[in-house]
Amino acid sequence: MKRREFISLLGGAAVAWPLAARAQQPAMPVIGWLGGGTAASQRAWVDAFVRRLGELGWIEGRTVAIEYRWGEGRAERYAEIAAEFVRLKPDVIVGAGTEAAIAAKQATSSIPIVFPTAGDPIGSGLVASLARPGGNVTGLSNLGTDLAAKRIEILREVFPGLSRLAVMANADYSGGVTERKEIDAAARALGLEIIPLPIRRVADIASAFDGLKGRAEALYITGDPLMNLQRLRINIFALAARLPTMFPQREYLEGGLISYGPNFLDMNRRAADYVDKILRGAKPAGLPVEQPTKFDLVINLITAKALGIKISPMLLTRADEVIE
């Protein structure tokens, strides 16, 4: 063989070897993110999840791929996206919200599913028990129903004479329906009259406030993707009606008065630990459902001033954040 031909052969092999090696490498794992809201409304939660994945060695676009889909607060979209993920066959589905996780579970019994937040994972049928989830689903419970009584206690602390409380809940959201039962039980114990404001779509919000004039002294909003997407609208109507508001978490509090609940950034971060374990071979059935470890009380003094409400110094000292 001539020297020039030999050198050419070596050069061709040098190009071919890496290509062959790359062809033999397994494809990176894929995570399907089924978000209940929109990319904008849940951006902070996604960022917390992705940052933690990176700390665990899963770098988006390099060692793991994430396919994002958004339900936009519409229940019918969840089933469509879940069916799409079944066709795509990701290694794990993150059902970001109770309804999203339920839709994923209804679509597949084989693809692992992780929920970062679920109000009542046992009652909604997501898991058999917290200690032993069984099946292909696990994650974190946000104790949504158990916190209702605490939120009402905080409202009564701010308004000792509170006797009529309006409750806005998505009638098509299982977590909201369950939380309503807890609210009603707490209200009976305190002698509060509950004025229900069931909604199913954006157009229902304005009509709910129209029928509320003069009937309530405060407004309790249950959490779900629709409420989160429409939080500004709700707060604008509440301010116009001069109604103090109680929300389930900090993210809703744009113009509202108080929020109390689990730290959802922390819960989405912890969901990444579940995904990491599953990608490394763990089965969801053997990963117990965990509960929140961080709870935030946030008070908006700007809104309090606009409504002419004085918040006691004692409550302010207990707050994790005061917006001024």
Q: What pLDDT, on the 0 to 100 scale, is given for residue 145?
A: 62
- Are 136 and 105 within 8 A, CB to CB? yes
Q: What pLDDT, on the 0 to 100 scale, is given for residue 4?
A: 46
Domains and CATH numbers, the chain: 30-142+263-294 (3.40.50.2300), 148-262+296-323 (3.40.50.2300)
Q: What is the pTM of this model?
A: 0.83
Query: Using one digit for the tens of pLDDT, what is the confidence trace for 281-295?
Result: 999 999 999 999 899
Of 79-93, 207-221, 240-254, give the range with the top mean pLDDT: 79-93
Average pLDDT, integer, range 34-40: 90
Query: Using one digit for the tens of pLDDT, what is the confidence trace for 268-319?
Result: 999 999 999 999 999 999 999 999 989 999 999 999 999 999 999 999 999 9
Query: Using one digit for the tens of pLDDT, what is the confidence trace for 105-115?
Result: 999 999 999 99
User: Whole-angstrom Cα distance, residue 39 to residue 44?
Assistant: 9
Q: Minimal CA–CA distance to 53: which of 306, 273, 310?
A: 273
Q: What pLDDT, on the 0 to 100 scale, is given for residue 177?
A: 76
Query: Using one digit for the tens of pLDDT, what is the confidence trace for 62-120?
Result: 999 999 999 988 878 999 999 999 999 999 999 998 889 999 999 999 999 999 998 88
In sequence order, what DSSP letters do the residues of 190-208 get, joined into one string? Answer: HTPEEEEEEESSTHHHHHH
The mean predicted confidence, pLDDT, of the chain is 89
Of 21 and 34, the structure prediction assigns the larger pLDDT to 34
Query: Using one digit for the tens of pLDDT, what is the confidence trace for 185-194?
Result: 999 888 999 9
CA distances from 84 to 1, 3, 39, 48, 87 (A): 56, 56, 18, 25, 5
User: Whole-angstrom Cα distance, residue 192 to residue 247?
Assistant: 18
Q: What pLDDT, on the 0 to 100 scale, is given for residue 85?
A: 97
- Are 167 and 197 within 8 A, CB to CB? yes
**Least confident among 5-9, 44-48, 81-85, 98-102:** 5-9
Per-residue pLDDT band at 144 (split at 50, 70, 90): low
Tokens standing for 101?
């996780």
Average pLDDT, integer, range 237-266: 92
Average pLDDT, integer, range 124-149: 89
Q: Where are the beta strands (DSSP E) in 97-163?
A: 113-118, 137-141
Q: What pLDDT, on the 0 to 100 scale, is given for residue 10?
A: 43
| Rounded (10°) CA dihedral 189, 209, 100, 45 | -90
